[in-house]
Structure 1
């Protein structure tokens, strides 16, 4: 039996494994902060030896800030320990400090806290992924990790590529059944990708049965179902295998791979050394939000820190485990609870958030038999509200009385008939929205009359929160509130790419990308951004002056395209935004703030994608269109808050966890049922393992188990929703739609259900009940509880809102900046040093390699008379594409298909595909031939038998970015340094001197910045390499050593590689203990890739080895 003791922060032992159950609002973060304080004072632990782990970046920041504030507060309080206080937090800290002062002395306590504050930047407070990455990186040898593995935030592109590869292979088998199912839409790549989420979200998931029969039995429906299951089984195996291979080949990791890599390392024969290394780093570990762990995470913490020499605190609340869709597994918490001694289980019983009567209401609803379905595994323990809780300090008063704290609105059928006596879901949702809108408008009207208050202040729109379970339900409320002049905001309730603004912006960008395409131009003109309608479009063609007006739009779009090519997306976007007065047009609409926020959010994402991926126009448009196909959510893609003033908040229950609001509405908790609707949801637990059943002989039994677990999660979601409220919470209930075993049904009808088939028993009970029976059951549950109220929702017309207007000064006077900004200090680069009188922008810091070729920008896809790779497009976009290919290509060239797939994808991403398939195939082949030539060319006769194809992954680094300090640099200083530089052969010293003399730039000090394309090592020497796509002519002769030397001189690449050499020299000096320039530095390669041919020695290949003396002299300038 689970027995929990009430936690006493002063006496809880600081040893062994301890489980702390922290119900909603009971001060979990405060508890962690003070356990942390006690560890600092009582265990002599250094701050970097106390590990705190939580699950999101936001939670990590919050807990870090809270611990820091608590330490600062404790330090200030040491000198006033006897000062009386009525604040509970202050009292607890005083008691901890008094005990430590008595045990260790005041001087020790002061020094310990002061040391922790000073060294707080070294604190080990991480997300779970950050902790695993740190553990792997710091113990890469013991964990068997590759060096310099790239961490990616999104693996969907890889999954999509593998899925389509699997799909092509299945089609190539020419299976008639497969083709038929694909044609009918019962099988598709998108359905397989959705299935992949289930497979990958739970890394220890076992799919049953292990094998499915291949034979068909003559029953069409059964045969098709069996065939689909077989395909899914094959796909799951193929996906896991290929995903592992692709990541290892490209030396990349997804966030969840960090967890699995550490988990597997701890399970391997390397475990003793690895655990020893990690354990010595930490004396104590506090795992926050433990209910959101999964079996992998639990096993990591249990293996590392459940020892007699460590302190381990697992802090969480199984009642709030609601993130199953992203891998959280409440059964990990349950297992930990079972394995923890009863003497080490604690619970927090005091709520600091809500009014006393609201907490009594929550106790009433959830106490009793099996409230969270999983019987004794998740118990409900009564809690009480502290008299000084936030809700009690500021109670809700309406018309002089404290209203019921939990309101249940019973939804009845609008026009009951003998055949249909309960409302359908659409009716119920519509009635719920109307009820919420009316109630909020009613309270705000009373507030404006001084009759509705929270504490001593009027109720404001920002005091209300509407919690939904689906993103689509959030938008139901926007228009009704705006019509009433009530401000409302959506908080993280959707994907920005699913918005109307995304769809309309896509139309605009397609028109700008093809200004000669009238269909696309027309589609753009009728967006809300531009504001034309169908009548306007017809007028352009029919009225005499109309076509002239139409031509102006086309000219504008053509100008925007040119601007996009020259200065990038964001400059074009700002110009379009200004010239079409888009801001003003959107803000004139009822939901204008929301729409403008979405548009600006989209522009930021597009700009970021362009910069990070070096997309051209077509490539960026393709990227944008591709995002519309993603059903998964990325944190960056969440809808942003359009305003943060006094507005009603509409938010999903999942995003609301950890937040609190005075008045909460939960209008749709009856929407989701526990009955399993398709096999992809058939995930269940059995004897410590997790399974996905796609057709076992026990499927009916497993459906009931999975349904039971689903109902438990729905109850937990309901608990989280209700406990967000400080003062009042509204729920809707009733006999709604077809019985589906929702959380509201179970809350009031759970008595007497059979435990072994609890979901089917509940559905059977609902079916047997009339609407009146259900109403009476609810009435009986809340009988004699004045803080719980059952009523019918009001259907009166809502009331228009007239907010208070505050008196503000007539004029605000802006402050004048009267200080001097030092323009000498800053960040510079090779490209900025040679920019001369050109406009200096941030782009010049990032695109050194493309400065020379911009004037040769060629229209993508146009015909060129030259042959082979000489005909490949020129300019920045083409250069970016080739660089990107070299960054990802396998130098060994073993997998030709993989290389060709990479080339195809990159040409598409960068908009470099030709108009027809034949020309496009030819272009892909020329790129392949060029890559092959470059990788197999002998780079230097002094390096025997060497080509890039002989390098393994561990021998090189891509895109080595650097910053190093420089003292004051002027053109004169630079010229003086180069007056002593010994040029490579083939260089004309007079021309070089003139080039250096021609450099002009403002004096600068600060940092030199750059990015080296490739650094590799061969036989103990390190080389830097730069790819150049400059077009010097249409034959290999044009890329002779003489000609590329002229190009090196013309564009002052000599200065570039000397800057890079200084950077690499500094880097190697810090990484190699016995580093010597002459011994370890091999030289510089600049590869003009258009002209490299393995059969023509040195063609297109520039090499130099700057002298040690000059590099040292140049380094001294840099400081």
Structure 2
């Protein structure tokens, strides 16, 4: 293992592979910003060689939140350095750089002399300009998440990487994976015989459970494993089901049937033996092993298995009737029962024990084969679709970099980003490291810096691989540095945590060592009731305490803190300057959501508000969502008594049983409620679902004194949470409304979401924080990483790591090549458990290093199993066995630690209290500082004529038919765009002889002329062409999805596939869409055209009259100013020219060119394609060097889908606006 050196940001080499290990609280972000400044200014020792721009410094981290925070911190440091240089230029005083809160490049005052020395390297005028330039261009800074970097790189270098130009990122692949798993389940498991089907039902349970188990391994690569049975690796899944599981299950069933028969044959005799014994005055059976209730319960379980049981493995109760168990159940001096069944069951127990172990291995093998097949199918799907997930981005970029042209791609990336910093590198994996090592390791004229802390590698469940980090660390060689000063916590707390963790095997692996950190600066102390508090406080269980008992003690302690703070007796004291403790200074770190709920309930009972910051539950799964279904149903069915009663029975209205009964019995009351819901429905229909729900919330009903719904909800326990969820659901309904055709369709969509039938809207439906007030924070240890809190409670640190492991979790380990392998046959159980224990120790480290002033930790009365907290308290003495030798007394261990800390660090370094809560439940009663709050008054003016419009809105204006559209947005001046006006009823709809001749080959079945008409059908066809890759065979799944969405008969599947095939193979001026390679196609190109001044409609009409052959009459528009928005269905490149194409599904009487021109004029599609032409023209001007309209712009094509039969003679309209018209229109858009 290479040694680490304390890092000096001013002199760290910038042109090599460097590793920085940053322990918790040691100023990692400050250091990264300092290095960033050095690169911008080319300052310090071992500098890069030239100043870099912000878009040349690649900074990669792992979450969007971390990206935004890092960008903000770097921007702040750039501004700070610029201002310091300006001030220094005026005063020449170095004290400017010595401010403790605004240091330039280093955090320690003793190294400020270095800053003075390196300032001499700078020309301050140039440096200030460089920093101003960097500050102005921070929006261009290359600070990305790992997936964002991969996505950008693949799209930017699509040709070099061989990746589809229109690569589309899907951030949530749940729907795809669910579809693949369901199809796989049907194909492989439905046809299986009863024995195999029963095994699958028992051990895999359902497609959803299978997907949940295998999801971490559905990455496109078959899992690796080591086995003594290599022949199983080469088997197909069907062979494994038939030859392994089927054969074993049949044998097991035969033996199981024999056991049942033997038991039923001899049970009467067995029962008589026991009943006779129970009736004796002196019973020979040991009551701890056999007494009458035990016997009855065991017999009942066995009888149930014999009669109804489908499991081939007998219940454990049967083995209480083996010879060895019966012999051991009798007291000394008594003769045990003798029966042939007891001897026979003794033999069977061993058989079934072996069978159970074999079943567990067969289950793991089955999961392996399932993962193999699912990955193959996932890869096949990804190959034929442009949609890619996060894992695909990494895989594709790695593949591109390791291909034949990979070195050229690496050169391009390295030229673009000559320096790269990877944050949180301990959370990397093999693919991520392979990407950056191919680009930067052993390459000239570049720098590569890895920054992380192996002690905080806690995200294995997300795919992070600590062994990849350790391998990368070795490659850094001598360029391995550490940050060794903690600027977060008080010196007393730092030294206390050092003492707890400073032993050789603290993190189990030799390559991960704990280096004690120093205190970076003095911090205030936590003072309670006039006494300085110890940095550590152990709460020791008295008896076996439940989780509820622990939560009560935690809440009681927090109550005491907050009551003292209200009297100004709980403060943070900094040499006499006191800051009162507030609720948001307190954090409770938990492992699970269940533990968080227990803490919240205990706090709530005491009137203490809290917030669970790790809550990832879905708002559609809440009770308030289920109740809102009834409310919306009542609005749609205001004449239905049952619907109304369901609605008023919800907690949203909070009516009593008597009030509900009164409504039911009174026609007048029922009628008033019906009118109320009818009123809500009218608002919903004409204004929208969100205004309707706001009306409902603010409606006080019959009496003005009656509470509104928000007031009623807030009066309930957890009312703030419920009201937040209700408002959140209202917003989600409003967002979904435009995607559903009617109010009834919106309700059906909402019901599907609540039932969990549809994929959630990714992050949009995650519950929101109910309040931004200062609340006690409850957060999981995993989520707390990187954060800091004043006072930290750790109530469940001692909970066993096995308590919450999923039963079906797959055991893995790393081999000598650092590959992750499945341990199916438990040959590597020790290595696997060591990895689990090591991650637990890293989780313990994260928990112990979040606090600034104080830690309160629960210590159980007795330890019986391996536990990370016990491992710390015994300084590793317990080793790495799940079952420890003997029991360990928690109180004794806590006392030993207290004695050790007080001796080394001084008295009052550690306190111990009994874990208890007062039986007198007190409520937190804080003094209220009332303030008169008033909303600020808006005094500025708003431009009333500015808006966003589109072709659809302009065409509607011209047709003077705005009254038919009740859009609120139109009334407010912001016009929403609906692009697809196909089949809106204005086209001529009749089947002519000419049209029938178009589709001779469809004469025996459905033809495109039979395809249903309507806006929804037109939109569905647009989406189909958007999803289908043109140069690939038609995807049956896309066809099936389209037919399902439109509720078409099954016979349409084949007809639609034939039609789309014909469309793609219809020549359009010499090229069919099917002949276009993926890199020459851009779908759904969205644009925004700015109108610099009020649009001159008169000049617009004059330009059309002079240069446009399809011009008929002057356009009549209202005053337009703002933006024109649109989306071009397709832009394609052919023979070096760029064309725009729009799909139309209009049903016409004739599809020859002259008829299409008439339809273009009738619907004013020429206005549409002129706007689109301007947009594409402007885009090409920016993207193509030496762009020339006549040479590079190919023209406009309108594809009338019902008329495209493959001949190329019908169904396609073509035009190319003359350049004079384009010039004239361009002047109207751009002043």
Q: Which residue of 1 aligns with 2:592?
A: 470
Are residue 484 (structure 1) and residue 610 (structure 2) matched? no
- Matched residues in 1 for 2:934 and 2:1067: separation? 73
Task: Determine if contact 2:454/2:469 at 8 Å carries over to the other structure.
Answer: yes
Of 1124, 1129, 1133, the residue aligned with 1:1008 is 1124
Q: How far apart are 1:96 and its partner, in Å?
A: 5.0
Helix, strand or coil at the partner of 2:17: strand
Of 1205, 1214, 1217, the residue aligned with 1:1106 is 1217
Are residue 588 (structure 1) and residue 715 (structure 2) matched? yes
Q: With the length of structure 1 as denominator, give the TM-score of the two structures.
A: 0.85
Q: How far apart are 1:728 and its partner, in Å?
A: 0.9
Are residue 1051 (structure 1) and residue 1058 (structure 2) matched? no
CA separation of 1:778 and 1:59: change in aligned 2, threshold 3 A: same
Q: How far apart are 1:835 and its partner, in Å?
A: 3.6
Q: How far apart are 1:578 and its partner, in Å?
A: 4.7
Task: Determine if contact 2:541/2:914 at 8 Å carries over to the other structure.
Answer: yes
Q: Any idea what the Cα deviations from partners look like across 1:446-485, whole Å, max 9, x if unmatched?
A: 2222221123132221211111221233232334434433
Q: Which residue of 2 aligns with 1:82?
A: 94
Q: Which residue of 2 aligns with 1:1023?
A: 1139
- Matched residues in 2 for 1:1005 and 1:960: separation? 23
- Matched residues in 2 for 1:879 and 1:517: separation? 36
Q: Which residue of 2 aligns with 1:163?
A: 181
Are residue 640 (structure 1) and residue 752 (structure 2) matched? no
Q: How far apart are 1:255 and its partner, in Å?
A: 2.3
Of 529, 546, 555, the residue aligned with 1:399 is 529
- Matched residues in 2 for 1:1044 and 1:545: separation? 61
Are residue 64 (structure 1) and residue 65 (structure 2) matched? no
Are residue 302 (structure 1) and residue 314 (structure 2) matched? no
- Matched residues in 2 for 1:682 and 1:232: separation? 12
CA separation of 1:933 and 1:141: change in aligned 2, threshold 3 A: closer
- Matched residues in 1 for 2:219 and 2:875: separation? 31
Q: Any idea what the Cα deviations from partners look like across 1:274-332, whole Å, max 9, x if unmatched?
A: 22222223333222111111122122223322335433322111111112221222222
Task: Determine if contact 1:512/1:557 at 8 Å carries over to the other structure.
Answer: yes
- Matched residues in 1 for 2:446 and 2:213: separation? 40
Helix, strand or coil at the partner of 1:1066: helix
Task: Determine if contact 1:495/1:633 at 8 Å carries over to the other structure.
Answer: no
Are residue 46 (structure 1) and residue 49 (structure 2) matched? no
Structure ID, larger Rg: 2
- Matched residues in 1 for 2:367 and 2:77: separation? 52
- Matched residues in 1 for 2:741 and 2:468: separation? 43
CA separation of 1:1110 and 1:352: change in aligned 2, threshold 3 A: same
Task: Determine if contact 2:493/2:854 at 8 Å carries over to the other structure.
Answer: yes
CA separation of 1:202 and 1:291: change in aligned 2, threshold 3 A: farther
CA separation of 1:229 and 1:525: change in aligned 2, threshold 3 A: farther
Of 869, 873, 884, the residue aligned with 1:764 is 884
Q: Which residue of 1 aligns with 2:1083?
A: 958
Q: Which residue of 2 aligns with 1:902?
A: 1041
Of 356, 363, 375, the residue aligned with 2:498 is 363
Q: Which residue of 1 aligns with 2:21?
A: 21
Which 10-residue stretch deviates more, 1011-1020 or 536-545?
Answer: 536-545
Of 393, 396, 401, the residue aligned with 1:261 is 396
Q: Which residue of 1 aligns with 2:916?
A: 794
Of 270, 273, 281, the residue aligned with 2:408 is 273
- Matched residues in 2 for 1:938 and 1:346: separation? 59
Q: Which residue of 1 aligns with 2:10?
A: 10
Q: Which residue of 2 aligns with 1:234?
A: 369
CA separation of 1:301 and 1:890: change in aligned 2, threshold 3 A: closer
Q: Which residue of 2 aligns with 1:127?
A: 145
Task: Determine if contact 2:1066/2:1207 at 8 Å carries over to the other structure.
Answer: no
Q: Any idea what the Cα deviations from partners look like across 1:233-276, whole Å, max 9, x if unmatched?
A: 23212222222232232212222322222222222222221222
Task: Determine if contact 1:202/1:327 at 8 Å carries over to the other structure.
Answer: no
Q: Any idea what the Cα deviations from partners look like across 1:130-184, whole Å, max 9, x if unmatched?
A: 2223333333333222212112211111111111121121145444444324544
Q: Which residue of 2 aligns with 1:713?
A: 839
Task: Determine if contact 1:492/1:639 at 8 Å carries over to the other structure.
Answer: no
- Matched residues in 2 for 1:903 and 1:340: separation? 54
Q: Which residue of 2 aligns with 1:450?
A: 568
- The 5-angstrom pairing of residues 832-851 of structure 1 reads 832-836=953-957, 837=962, 840-841=969-970, 844-850=975-981
Aligned residues: 1048
Of 508, 517, 532, the residue aligned with 1:383 is 517
Task: Determine if contact 2:426/2:453 at 8 Å carries over to the other structure.
Answer: yes
- Matched residues in 2 for 1:880 and 1:576: separation? 34
Q: Any idea what the Cα deviations from partners look like across 1:787-832, whole Å, max 9, x if unmatched?
A: 2222212311353223233353x46474341x43333444332123
CA separation of 1:127 and 1:876: change in aligned 2, threshold 3 A: same
Of 949, 965, 985, the residue aligned with 1:828 is 949
- Matched residues in 2 for 1:780 and 1:284: separation? 50
Helix, strand or coil at the partner of 1:265: helix
CA separation of 1:95 and 1:244: change in aligned 2, threshold 3 A: farther
Q: Which residue of 2 aligns with 1:439?
A: 557
CA separation of 1:942 and 1:853: change in aligned 2, threshold 3 A: closer
- The 5-angstrom pairing of residues 926-941 of structure 1 reads 926=1052, 929-930=1055-1056, 932-937=1058-1063
Helix, strand or coil at the partner of 2:1106: coil
Q: Which residue of 1 aligns with 2:350?
A: none
Q: Which residue of 1 aligns with 2:853?
A: 727
CA separation of 1:21 and 1:81: change in aligned 2, threshold 3 A: farther
Q: Any idea what the Cα deviations from partners look like across 1:978-1024, whole Å, max 9, x if unmatched?
A: 3335445xxxx7xx42xx45x2312x334322111222344555433
Are residue 887 (structure 1) and residue 1026 (structure 2) matched? yes
Q: Any idea what the Cα deviations from partners look like across 1:604-647, whole Å, max 9, x if unmatched?
A: 44544566899986378447735837999955444322222222
CA separation of 1:573 and 1:52: change in aligned 2, threshold 3 A: same
Of 475, 485, 495, the residue aligned with 1:339 is 475
Task: Determine if contact 1:494/1:639 at 8 Å carries over to the other structure.
Answer: yes
Helix, strand or coil at the partner of 1:848: coil
Task: Determine if contact 1:487/1:648 at 8 Å carries over to the other structure.
Answer: yes
Task: Determine if contact 1:149/1:251 at 8 Å carries over to the other structure.
Answer: yes
CA separation of 1:1112 and 1:719: change in aligned 2, threshold 3 A: same
Helix, strand or coil at the partner of 2:450: strand
Q: How far apart are 1:71 and its partner, in Å?
A: 2.4
- Matched residues in 2 for 1:731 and 1:782: separation? 15
CA separation of 1:526 and 1:639: change in aligned 2, threshold 3 A: same
Task: Determine if contact 2:1143/2:1200 at 8 Å carries over to the other structure.
Answer: yes
Task: Determine if contact 1:22/1:316 at 8 Å carries over to the other structure.
Answer: yes
Q: How far apart are 1:382 and its partner, in Å?
A: 1.1
Q: Which residue of 1 aligns with 2:1179?
A: 1067
- Matched residues in 2 for 1:559 and 1:595: separation? 26
Q: How far apart are 1:433 and its partner, in Å?
A: 1.1
- Matched residues in 1 for 2:25 and 2:1184: separation? 53
Q: How far apart are 1:199 and its partner, in Å?
A: 0.2
Helix, strand or coil at the partner of 1:680: coil
- Matched residues in 1 for 2:1068 and 2:580: separation? 83
Q: Which residue of 1 aligns with 2:347?
A: none
Task: Determine if contact 1:38/1:96 at 8 Å carries over to the other structure.
Answer: no
Are residue 348 (structure 1) and residue 483 (structure 2) matched? yes
Task: Determine if contact 1:529/1:586 at 8 Å carries over to the other structure.
Answer: yes
Q: Any idea what the Cα deviations from partners look like across 1:46-100, whole Å, max 9, x if unmatched?
A: 1233322222122122222222222222232231442274517527555454222
- The 5-angstrom pairing of residues 800-811 of structure 1 reads 800-806=923-929, 808=931, 810=932
Q: Which residue of 2 aligns with 1:412?
A: 542
Q: Which residue of 2 aligns with 1:32?
A: 32
Q: Which residue of 1 aligns with 2:426?
A: 291
